[in-house]
Amino acid sequence: MIGNQELKEFIESTYLNLLENQEGEVADYIPQLKKVNPELFGISACLLDGTIISKGDTDKQFCLQSCAKPLTYCLARELSDLKKVHQHVGYEPSGRAFNSFCLNNDNLPHNPLINAGAIMTTALIENDKEPADRFECIKDFYQNMSGNTGMIGFENSVFLSEKHHADRNTSLAYYMKENKAFPEGFSPTDIQRTLDLYFQTCSITLDCKTASIIC
């Protein structure tokens, strides 16, 4: 079994090996994300005893974006049973891009980790409550998963940018409505509230240290 010191040395060597790597690009499909400093880089690992090993810019807050998807699915599963959740979203990989305009053979999103599926799992979270209460439910869940030690924030400018450039996700939502994937009686107002909540979860912020605890 690897010890703390060995893991620390591994993280440090990995950090140094990747520090000068300039491959990849900052996401630009949402204009606000394009403004993120591409030089920021950090690694954090949380051990079973609670020890956190960090290297680099691990105190800098960043938006969760698609990293929110598995957490939202976990919350949907906590609030409801497996069968109910998967009446509205599938299990299997799609083999398509994360924002593909497609459903599975049951006219459901393929899984909770693509945009259509994440919109759907968001729709299942306390959809009988006020929008503010639903957002607080999600944010509190993230806070609890961090052991109430991390700083969970929110980037309103990213949320507004997401909402303003939402054509694809809005189309996906109404495509699912057309195919009756949402819970029965889901109205256009419910869809817009769900999309807003989905964009809000993508705009929740934390740092690497907090993320390592959650993971």
The per-residue DSSP string of 94-160 comes to: -SS-TT-S---TTSS-S-TTSHHHHHHHHHTSSTTS-HHHHHHHHHHHHHHHTTT-S--EE-HHHHH
- Biggest CA–CA distance in the chain, Å, is 56
**Average of per-residue pLDDT across 148-163:** 92
pLDDT of residue 2: 66
Residue 151 predicted with pLDDT over 70: yes
Contact predicate 33/62, CB 8 Å: no
| Average per-residue pLDDT for the chain | 94
Residue 12 predicted with pLDDT over 90: yes
User: Quick one: pLDDT band at residue 48, thresholds 50, 70, 90?
Assistant: confident
Contact predicate 203/63, CB 8 Å: yes
Tell me the pairing of strands 42-46 and 52-56: antiparallel
pLDDT of residue 101: 93
Burial of 205 (0-12, 13-18, 19+ CB in 10 A): middle
Which tokens hold the place of 112? 């909770």
Backbone CA torsion sign across 200, 206, 57, 155: positive
Percent of the chain clearing pLDDT 90 (strictly above): 86
**Average of per-residue pLDDT across 194-199:** 98
Nearest to 120 by CA among 73, 178, 166, 184: 73
Tens of pLDDT along 80-111? Answer: 989 999 999 999 998 989 999 999 999 999 99
Which tokens hold the place of 213? 């605890």
Contact predicate 177/192, CB 8 Å: no
Which tokens hold the place of 172? 């996906």
Per DSSP, 53 falls in state E
**Average of per-residue pLDDT across 73-79:** 96
d(CA 109, CA 102): 7
Residue 74 predicted with pLDDT over 90: yes
Residue 1 predicted with pLDDT over 80: no
